[in-house]
Amino acid sequence: MSTRKTAHQVWHVSRGIVFAGGTSVVYPRLPAVRHHSAPAAVASEGSSIPLPPVLSMADVPAEPPAGQGPETMLGHVVATSTTTRTTTTITSTAVVGEGPIGQGQGAVIGIVEKPKSKDTTPDAVPFTPLDYKMPDKAFQAARQAPEGTPESFWNYSLYRGPGKDGALVTKVKVHYCTSVHTTERVINEHFMNEKIVGLDLEWMANAQKSYGPRKNVSLIQLASTSRIGLFHIAAFPEKGALVAPALKKLLEDPAITKVGVWIKGDCTRLSEYLKIETRGQFELSHLYRLVKFSASGEYDLINKRLVALGTQVKECLGLPLFKGDDVRTSDWTKRLSLDQIIYSSSDAYAAVQLYAVLNHQRQKLDPVPDIPHHAELNIPIPVVKPVPEVTEQDADLAAADPDPASQTAPVAEARLDVKPSVEPAIPPLNILNPVQQAPTTG
């Protein structure tokens, strides 16, 4: 018996039952030919810590772009040197119920209802009104990739924005911030003027309230059409504030809509541990149900039950979203790995794209229902049902007999004027006469 097999046996004659996990599997790895390792200098408060391996070296220019100052460029990672050196700008590669706040990683297991329907995954790239779109070539490549491989999943790096000539060449940028200072700068420069932002949180699995904010709100993700911000609260310097004033201002501004799935659960956690009272919360599940079931006429299914983010992404954006528990429940208090960066960035960016796609589909409905209200207002989802069409036959009947009840009413009234000497029995139902005589009492 080999040492490898012995090490992973659950039972051994000399040891009995051994409860030990085997080798954990992380976010599906990219093929080795496109997965290179290289250090990139970016650190917390001036120290230098290597970044995780990067995806592809194909996008490295011969010289750094002018005007960006000293920087190390490795693949799709740009480590920008600043006063505190705490921001990493990452650009993507081309290949690639509202439960209690104690639930792990914002999971909605047990309170999410996945609508039972046939596979409605689109064959073509779903239309989005946003400038950043998924090129058809990238979409078809992902569709044709073997199921379960990294290339088959939806993620933010598949999207491109318009370049100078209008072609889709500009990549989504990711800012990884590990201090209040850089969080303040990134939000003021890139997110404060947005009207819609994706919002998501990550935290340590099974974190208790007594563990404090760093383990209960380890990472805050924001996303706009062109950028993603990862604000790693758990990695902020030990001595100092955890909440940047700009972050608090953005989250508490009701004019900036924060979109996500299980949004009220995340916002409750922000209030509990960081004293941020988030306003402008928008639950994507409400919009998804409004659009899907208004179109199908299943109005009784328009309710506030949550729908998993993965379900919405596959149906509305056309590709499956990787939601492996090994990454979701990984340690979010340590410096993020590349797997964690892809996972957390994709969740927040998916919210922005979903909102745009679903809202566009809502505006095409007839009649057009109002968009659901902000979740913190606790207002019912607005449902508008179409008025039944009047056929020519119905119109002819209405013209010939505009009000049948009016013709029989005088007869009924005349009968009621005569008081019978004996209380009559309840008359039998006469299906030929729509007006039934009501029984009278003495």
* Same-domain status, 253 and 128: yes
Q: How far apart are CA 169 and CA 245, in angstroms?
A: 34
Query: 310 and 271 in one domain?
Result: yes
Element (H, E) at 228: strand 227-231
Does 276 score more than 70 pLDDT? yes
Side chain identity at residue 185, one-letter code: R
Residue 434 confidence (pLDDT) above 90: no
Domain annotation covers residue 301: yes
Contacts 24+ apart (CB under 8 A), 282-285: 282/257, 282/258, 282/355, 282/372, 282/374, 282/375, 283/372, 283/375, 284/259, 284/260, 284/309, 284/312, 284/351, 284/354, 284/355, 284/358, 285/261, 285/312
pLDDT band at residue 76 under the 50/70/90 scheme:
very low
pTM: predicted TM-score of the whole model, two decimal places = 0.69
Q: Model confidence over 318-372: pLDDT tens digits?
A: 999 997 778 988 999 999 999 999 999 999 999 999 999 999 999 999 999 999 9
Q: Is the pLDDT assigned to residue 47 strictly greater than 90?
A: no
* Together in a domain, 338 and 414: no
Decide if pLDDT at 151 tops 50: yes
Q: Is residue 83 part of a domain?
A: yes
The percent of residues in the chain predicted with pLDDT above 90, rounded, is 56
278 and 408 together in one domain: no
Give yes or no for residue 39 having a pLDDT over 80.
no
pLDDT at 131 (0 to 100) = 97
Which residue has better confidence, 106 or 316? 316
Report the number of distinct structural domains present in the chain. 2
Pairing of strands 281-283, 219-223: unpaired
Predicted confidence at residue 123, as pLDDT, reads 81
Query: What is the band of 30 on the pLDDT scale with cuts at 50, 70, 90?
Result: very low
Does residue 392 belong to any structural domain of this protein? no
pLDDT of 16: 54
The answer on pLDDT for 99 being more than 70 is no
Say if residue 303 is in the same domain as residue 350: yes
Q: How far apart are CA 360 and CA 347, in angstroms?
A: 20
Residue 288 predicted with pLDDT over 70: yes
Range of the domain at 235: 33-377
Burial of 402 (0-12, 13-18, 19+ CB in 10 A): exposed
Q: Find the angle CA(330)-CA(336)-CA(339) to the nearest 5 degrees.
A: 70
In the predicted structure, residue 286 carries a pLDDT above the cut 90: yes
Residues 6+ apart with CB under 8 A from 300: none
Res. 399 pLDDT band, cuts 50 70 90? low
- pLDDT at position 398, please? 63
**3-state DSSP assignment of residue 68:** coil
Rounded to the nearest 10 degrees, the angle between the axes of helix 338-363 and helix 309-317 is 60
pLDDT of residue 329: 87
User: 367: cis peptide before it, omega within 30°?
Assistant: yes
Q: CA-to-CA distance for 250 and 246, rounded, in angstroms?
A: 6
pLDDT more than 70, % of the chain: 61
Query: Which residues of 6-65 form beta strands (DSSP E)?
Result: 11-12, 16-17
* Domain match, 355 and 415 both: no
Q: Would you say residue 16 lies in a domain?
A: no
pLDDT value for 142: 97
In a shared domain, residues 350 and 425: no
Rounded to an integer, the average pLDDT of 399-405 is 60
* Residue 105 included in any domain: yes
Say whether both 145 and 274 belong to one domain: yes
How confident is the model at residue 154, as a pLDDT? 98
> Helices 338-363 and 284-296 sit at what angle, rounded to 10 degrees?
40
CATH number at residue 55: 3.30.420.10
Contact present, 26 and 327 (Cβ < 8 Å): yes
pLDDT at residue 48, as a whole number: 31
Contact 232, 178 (CB under 8 A): yes
Residue 339 inside a domain? The answer is yes
| pLDDT(311) > 80 | yes
Q: Based on the domain organization, do 332 and 407 belong to the same domain?
A: no
Q: Does residue 380 register a pLDDT over 70?
A: yes
- 262 domain residue, yes or no: yes
Query: 332 and 293, same structural domain?
Result: yes
Least confident span in 184-193, 348-357, 411-420? 411-420
Mean pLDDT over each residue of the chain, to the nearest integer: 76
> In this model, does residue 202 exceed pLDDT 70?
yes
More confident: 406 or 430: 406
If asked whether residues 245 and 305 sit together in one domain, one would say yes
Looking at residue 60, its pLDDT comes to 31
Tell me: do 158 and 271 sit in the same domain: yes
